[in-house]
Amino acid sequence: MARTRVLVVDDSVVVRRLVTEVLSRDPRIDVVGVAANGRIALAKIEQLAPDLVTMDVEMPELDGIGAVRAMRAAGHRQPVIMFSTLTERGAEATLDALQAGATDYVTKPGSTASMAAALAEVAAQLVPRILALAPPRGGEEVRAPVRPLRAVTAPAVPVTRPAPVPVLRPAAPHHRVRLVAVGASTGGPEALSRLVGALPVLPVPVVVVQHMPPVFTRQLAQRLDRLGPVRVHEAEQGQVLEPGHAYVAPGDRHLVVRYAAGELVAHLDDGPPVNYCRPAVDVLLRSAVDAVRGELLAVVLTGMGADGRAGAESVVHAGGTVVVQDEPTSVVWGMPGAVATAGWAHAVLPLGEIADAVTSTVTQARRAPVGRIS
């Protein structure tokens, strides 16, 4: 049986043993080596050629961010999953690592967790990501549906080769757009950076769900705010959604859009996770349809799982437009692929073309059809 070869990098002996034990329990994963810092990891990547690397953030000699940069500079393209702490400092460092070329991240168990709880939490977060980002060689189907950490990130979906073929909808008829709603998960921070950084000041608000824990979403919003003319905020309860601004759902809260007294208003909801996620893209899209009906443009970017598929269906039935990121430019073509293969996408576009598609759809009185697959 083919297995995914993983290198575990962490300066803590306890953490290395914990991660190795968790991964070794899965017959689809083979831990081929461990390293205590980034410098040792770089040598072992050359020696062992793993399929994927788990990487601690803070380490002596060469930390995780530096190691990721060195990997990418040397041409190593293996997925890297950062192992982070759920703190302001951990969030900032993790986002730095993602910007440097890391693929995804998981957060470490809390210090009060028992060993059994820690093992279960690491398994629930790490195994599905490994199998989605680096499926066992040979193309067999991988199934690992699990509960995500604190219900804020998406679970893995079955990864099957070859991938289903998208079913593109005809171009949506011309309609007014009063709101742009964006959803993303794995690979989303970098995708959102490119999208938001390329957007002009739009005459409508933009609302965003990125599967992330609470501290991380605040840091993400602050970073996105520095990239271009669009002002970006972490959404607050009762906040009026203004044109030219973007609002990121806070971690562990659903972002619901409501129409009240002639204005679009953000409502933060503590309801149960949807698709194992809170915030959930489906919750955002369905509430946006309730608020503006078909005067909506939905964008689904890279991510594991199928969050956004049901919401995209609601957008289509209401008369709105749905654009998704294509497979070649997605880190994981789970969420956008689920929408496209279900037949709810009007356009499947490379990441670099989505900002222009959003701008033209929102601002042009009459727009050319965007329905195509690239």
Rounded distance, CA 354 to CA 374, Å? 12
Rounded distance, CA 85 to CA 250, Å? 18
Identity at 30, one-letter amino acid code: D
| 254 in catalytic set | no
DSSP notation for 8-70: EE-S-HHHHHHHHHHHHTSTTEEEEEEESSHHHHHHHHHHH--SEEEEESS-SSS-HHHHHHH
**Active-site residue among 185, 193, 287, 330?**
185
**Active-site residue among 254, 307, 314, 346?**
307
Residue 147 — φ and ψ, nearest 5°? -80, 125
Are residues 342 and 167 in contact, defined by beta-carbon separation less than 8 angstroms?
yes
What does each C-alpha distance from 147 to 52, 120, 155, 186, 340 come to in angstroms? 22, 10, 7, 15, 25
Partners of 95 in the β-ladder: none
Are residues 183 and 300 in contact, defined by beta-carbon separation less than 8 angstroms?
yes
Identity at 150, one-letter amino acid code: R
**Active-site residue among 51, 63, 84, 211?**
211
Residue 75 — φ and ψ, nearest 5°? 90, 5
Helix residue ranges per DSSP H, the chain:
13-24, 38-48, 64-73, 88-100, 115-133, 188-198, 214-225, 281-292, 309-318, 335-341, 351-363
| 30 in catalytic set | no
- For residue 63 the two structure tokens come to 């930390």
| 317 in catalytic set | no
Rounded distance, CA 252 to CA 211, Å? 9
Q: Give the residue numbers annotated as catalytic, written as ranges.
A: 185, 211, 307
